[in-house]
Copies of this chain bind each other. A is one copy, B any other.
Amino acid sequence: MSALAPGATIGILGGGQLARMLALAGAGLGLRSHIFSPYADDPAFEVCAQKTLAEFTDEEALARFASHVDVITYEFENVPAATAAFLDARKPVRPNSKALALTQDRFVEKRFLQELEIETAEFADVADAGALARAIAKIGRPSILKTRRFGYDGKGQLLIRDGADLATSFRSLGGAPCILECVVPFNKEVSVVAARGLDGAFRAYDICENFHEHHILSRTTAPADIRPETASHAIALARRIAEAADYVGVIAVEMFVVESNASERLLVNEIAPRVHNSGHWTLDGAVTSQFEQHMRAVAGWPLGSPRSHGRVTMDNIIGEEVYNWSRILSEDGASLHLYGKREVRPGRKMGHVTRVEPRTPR
């Protein structure tokens, strides 16, 4: 299938802030968006004329949705496999179902990286409490037990310390299939936000350096404070991943940087098959935002320039921090983004603020 024409409709699964910013970016390019979400209050519904409020298992709604759109994308990796397959039989789903399958399951993801000879934290499959004991014997403590599926922002994770009871630990994550990972003594966390086009073109933004609080991304700075050769290597790893998955769209690859002797080692931690929180700075700090870049890619269009406008800091606005909106608006040079969420909850991402330090201050 060739490139869509302006005026075409992109179907987006999910209606959160990522879908909202994708739809806004698409509108700037003359693309329509059709949001599919089960949650009536979702903020993306506010910015689109076309919408479907239905469960992801509602095949009638999915079929109708597919008939109204030209291509389908998503804002989160936990789209049910059956939903993706049902839709893919009707309209192109981008990124493809392989990317979804890879990133929905931490074990499958790690094995995929292993096959690509990309270094990760040491890991082991943990199907039950007995497997956990064998995994601990291999990997040691402290280590991190994570559910294979549906984890985000530190949810579905547990640090296994010396003396922790393994059966209790396993049960505390609901008895779901898990993966055990060794704790990486990393010096920095970075991410590569990049895009691959339908034509195979690959373009990466400045490497993002990420700072978490309570397992939630708190701050991203770009470019990351790493060696130029480490940055090039990080981009090469992201490209290898994207090419192996025959990927189309924006991809984010989270990595640990481990300083050893005079070099920096990179271990891939996680792949997100979508626009990513650590790329939000591109809205204000790059020629083409990650949201526009994703819409270009899924439309089969040429990728835009990822060139940045300078050194950038992006801070997430979490929970009640949103009540600082007025102070942020008053700060010269700060760019405020709010997601239009009606309810403030602890830990909820309500918006973000970007500050760009131009290369040549005036």
* Chain A residues packing against B (C-beta within 8 Å): 3, 6-7, 20, 23-24, 27-32, 45-49, 283-284, 287-288, 296, 301-302, 304-305, 307, 309, 322, 325-326, 329-330, 332-333, 335-340, 342, 351, 356, 358-360, 362
Contacts and interface: CB of A to CB of B under 8 A. Distances in A.
Contacts of A333: 287, 305, 307
Nearest to A292: B335
Nearest to A338: B30
Contacts of A338: 6, 28-30
B46 A337 contact: no
B356 A359 contact: no
Contacts of A32: 46, 340
15 contacts: A6-B322, A6-B340, A7-B340, A27-B47, A27-B340, A29-B336, A29-B337, A30-B351, A47-B47, A47-B49, A49-B49, A301-B329, A304-B329, A305-B333, A309-B309
Contact of A356 (B29, B287, B339): B287
A213 to B, nearest CB: 22
Nearest to A322: B6
Given A32-B46, A48-B49, A342-B7, A335 B288 contact: yes
A322 B362 CA distance: 36
B6 A325 contact: yes
Contacts of A30: 325, 337-340, 351
Contacts of A358: 307, 309, 359
A342 B6 CA distance: 9
Contacts of A342: 7
Given A27-B47, A338-B30, A302 B325 contact: no
Contacts of A339: 30
Contacts of A23: 47
Contact of A326 (B3, B28, B287): B3
A31 to B, nearest CB: 8
A208 B336 CA distance: 26
Given A326-B3, A336-B29, A46 B46 contact: no
Given A47-B49, A309-B309, A360 B359 contact: yes
A358 B362 CA distance: 13
Contacts of A329: 296, 301-302, 304
Given A302-B326, A305-B332, 9 more contacts: A7-B342, A29-B336, A47-B48, A304-B329, A305-B333, A307-B362, A309-B358, A359-B359, A360-B360
Contacts of A309: 309, 358
Contacts of A24: 24, 27-28, 47
A6 B46 CA distance: 14
A201 to B, nearest CB: 10
A301 B301 CA distance: 37
A332 B201 CA distance: 13
Contacts of A296: 329
